Structure 1
């Protein structure tokens, strides 16, 4: 396994931004849903690392996405929010009460629920800020669910490809 340093974290951010902007944003499933993969950085960042550095890196990731998509801070806000509440999301979705967190000790259902909860919160924040109108509430909710489900599949494939969860 590669040791994570600030340099490797920044390199991963650049690669995730490039993958999202130049590949995934060109994929339109069912005519209007785009998969979102860049929040994997926030979801799978080691829990024991410096929290301020983690929030700063999450800010840079969101800002990079916003810079290319011209979304005026929406992705930055959503990315920093899931980064800030990641421990809470992990504890509530996995029913963990200890101070030591590990993906290897989770059951698959807990692991999937954590991923879906994180991506749902991210998409809820992005979509509700970007498209909010009371008259479009049902359409926004369907968009959140569809984008979250599609992104969930891509993130699980990413996690399996890079063996982020190595045992049940």
Structure 2
């Protein structure tokens, strides 16, 4: 799964530029849809390696590794706040579609916030960076939604 997402991101999606500036990001779906009750340390390690592999091909010096690991670390909190779930049992099957979509959007927005702030942030460019975060998040959301629908993630995980 990680190898496929990495190859798809590097060799296909990174060659797509929408509106002359925005590249869709799909590889964080690994973090979003990794089963909740597996070994947390293995999950964090795999998330770091995924981001580091993307960084190696893009030459971004650990930005994607950091962002992917941060999203992985806070995934349970993102899930609980975006879905209003207070139970200890997490399942995408039990979510309403609006909650599922909000979880995806929240996760990708948080990921892009970390990436863009580390890569481009200057106080003088605040609005430009914020617009880039919003645009990239929305474009990536569409690609992730297509991926989730094609693989029927909501029904499986």
Same fold flag (TM > 0.5): yes
Per the alignment, residue 68 of structure 1 pairs with: 57
With the length of structure 1 as denominator, give the TM-score of the two structures: 0.92
**SS class of match (1:104):** coil
Whole-angstrom CA distance in 1 between matches of 2:13 and 2:42: 27
Whole-angstrom CA distance in 1 between matches of 2:6 and 2:58: 11
Per the alignment, residue 12 of structure 2 pairs with: 23
Q: Tell me the alpha carbon deviations over residues 31-87 of structure 1, each in whole angstroms, 9 at most, x when there is no partner.
A: 000000000000000001100000000011000000000000000000000000000
Aligned residue among 74, 89, 101 for 1:112:
101
Shift of 1:166: 2.2
Q: Map 1:42-57 to 2 at 5 A.
A: 42-57=31-46
Per the alignment, residue 78 of structure 1 pairs with: 67
Per the alignment, residue 120 of structure 2 pairs with: 131
Whole-angstrom CA distance in 2 between matches of 1:33 and 1:111: 24
Aligned residue among 144, 159, 164 for 2:133:
144
With the length of structure 2 as denominator, give the TM-score of the two structures: 0.98
Runs of 4+ in 1 over 6 A off after TM superposition: none
